[in-house]
A = this chain, B = another copy of it.
Amino acid sequence: MHQVSLSAIPGLPDIQPGDDLAKIIGDVLETHGVQDGDILCIAHKIVSKSEGDVIKLADVTPSEEAQDYAQQLNKDPAKVEVVLQQSNRVVRAFKRPAQNEGTMICEHRLGFISANAAVDESNSDEGTVITLPKDPDASARRLGHALEERFGLRIGIVITDTFGRPWRLGQVNVAIGLHRVPAKTSDIGGTDAWGRDLSVTEPALSDELAAASGLVIAKAAKTPLVLCRGVNWTTDEETTARKILRASSEDMFR
């Protein structure tokens, strides 16, 4: 019987800019136990914090464009400026009557499409916002290599963020940075149990893991680290989370 376990790893301290996150995660993993083939899902906020991707809004000078959006959407101009600086472009901007503050759906400069370019006010100190890490795949690789060296094991890393979706309410975690774990797997060319071609089945393994980690992450309880054990997976040395992005030219919804 195939079984996967998801464990919230306790004991992480508050992460501060400059912290050696690989060392800190390694220490809690040593207490918890880690095995070959384990995959760590890490909420990006602790990665962003350790890498200093925290912006003081008082230091931000809103552009004219930011001020226009801020007025239209009833948002803080400095926050809007950060959102615009993080974005290639604004895909949609709207404020419904029921909303106090409007929403900007943006294409982040890394290619991800999400609300407010993934700029996050929660889990940060008052007056500051947290952005995505500058290169989440590089962050994942760096963490992964350090942990693999320390423990002498193959360890997958999925750095996650919490995204809304078109058409469906609520949020799920998705992958934004990867080490070894393939962005998606492929059943192309295989056959299902009834012998039919599985011509277009490509399970988004990295996003399945990210979403699953949400089952044990409790935002209110500071558990940004989830260990997934028992997953059937094959190393992809060339993996990046960007590989899961649909090419703009093949996308019917932007």
Q: Which residues of A contact B (CB under 8 A)?
A: 1-10, 32, 92, 94, 96, 105, 112-113, 121-126, 162, 165-174, 183-185, 187, 190-194, 196-198, 201-205, 207-209, 211-212, 214-216, 218-223, 228, 231-232, 243-246, 250-254
Contacts and interface: CB of A to CB of B under 8 A. Distances in A.
Contact of A207 (B7, B162, B170, B198): B170
A175 to B, nearest CB: 9
B220 A166 contact: no
Contact of A201 (B122, B211, B252): B122
Given A196-B123, A203-B171, A208-B172, A219 B187 contact: yes
B204 A168 contact: yes
A38 B82 CA distance: 43
A166 B215 contact: no
8 contacts: A2-B223, A113-B166, A166-B166, A170-B183, A171-B201, A193-B219, A193-B221, A208-B211
Copies of this protein chain in the complex: 2
Contacts of A6: 3-6, 212
A185 B214 CA distance: 12
A248 to B, nearest CB: 9
Nearest to A216: B2
A192 B122 contact: yes
Given A168-B245, A193-B220, A207-B211, 20 more contacts: A1-B7, A1-B9, A4-B215, A113-B166, A123-B196, A165-B165, A165-B204, A166-B246, A169-B202, A169-B204, A169-B245, A171-B202, A192-B219, A193-B221, A193-B222, A198-B219, A208-B212, A208-B214, A212-B215, A215-B231
Contacts of A208: 172-173, 211-212, 214-215
Contacts of A203: 162, 170-172, 214
A125 B174 CA distance: 34
A222 B7 CA distance: 27
A246 B165 CA distance: 9
A94 to B, nearest CB: 6
A252 B171 CA distance: 16
Nearest to A227: B3
B3 A207 contact: no
A164 B171 CA distance: 16
